[in-house]
Amino acid sequence: MATSTLGAFGEVNRKHWDTQVEQIFKEPWIQNLTRQIYNHLRSNLDWIGIQQPSQTPTKMLDYACGPGIASQAMLPYVTEIRGIDVSDSMVDKFNAGARDAGISEIQMHAVRGDLLAPAQGSLESQDFYGFDLAIMSMALHHIDNPETMIAKLVERLKPGGTVLIIDWVPSKTAFCRSDGSPSHEYSHGFRMDSSQSDLGQHPSSHTVSFDGFSEKHMNDIFAKAKCSEFDYVLATSPSEVPPDPSGQKQMFFAKGTKHRM
């Protein structure tokens, strides 16, 4: 796929993540974070809306899929997974992991693409529409227009399908209480340039567009995308993030349902 099929910020992310794919997942805090995401997804299938075992075919989109953490967590509970990522290296790692596990391309396969860029032939086939579930994990803060991004994901769902966003609460927001409920929010998330990123001099800081997303911010975004049944929950404990000045960040899981026709 030619470089011109990516949007401007997608190209920034592609150039960065193409060079980071081997190193980034060797970092202990990244390994712990991916394990936290995996375990939360596996432990909250009913909340996500996935029946186990599924009685009907269930099709999932893993957007900004990376190596496929969300896909690996959901694989036993869905019948078909399609991944999309701006990075060739991430797509290669996703597909290699599926092949190594003996999973067919029909069941699990990723392609390079950017839903924020002009229409791309590889993403316009029916293979990339009609999803029951679309997950975007730890990537929305890298997007310069999250409202359009979520609207594009909703377009790919069948009526009644679910969008699930996993990302950071704004850094100025206090962490969850011991019972897992959110404490008072002091910040609603804000657009930032790389000099404002809490990751400081971390190699990924220039790819970050937002500090995070509060419950209100996400609710507004989902409403604009014509989603209902919105919910926003915090991970049961903060995540260790050494590049952040506090050493920790709070992760959230937000979902919405595409209006039924």
Contact 25, 90 (CB under 8 A): no
- Sorted by where each begins, the domain ranges of the chain are 3-103+115-258
Nearest partner of 253 among 44, 3, 23, judged by Cα: 44
The predicted model scores a pTM of: 0.82
The CATH class of 3-103+115-258 is alpha beta
Q: Which tokens go with 129? A: 């529409």
Q: Which pLDDT belongs to residue 122?
A: 84
- Give SS3 for 237: coil
Q: Could you read off the pLDDT of 3-41 as tens digits, one per residue?
A: 445 544 556 555 555 656 677 788 899 999 999 999 999
- Long-range pairs of 29-35 with CB within 8 A, sequence gap ≥ 24: 29/239, 29/240, 29/241, 29/242, 32/239, 32/240, 33/138, 33/239, 33/240, 33/241, 33/251, 34/69
Whose structure tokens read 């979520």? 150
CA–CA distance, 238 with 128 (Å, rounded to integer): 34
pLDDT of residue 13: 54
pLDDT of residue 165: 99
Please give the DSSP secondary-structure letter assigned to residue 141. Answer: G
Below-70 pLDDT ranges, the chain:
1-21, 53-54, 173-209
**Six-digit token string for 47:** 């909340």
Give me 27's structure tokens: 């970092």
User: What pLDDT, on the 0 to 100 scale, is given for residue 25?
Assistant: 80
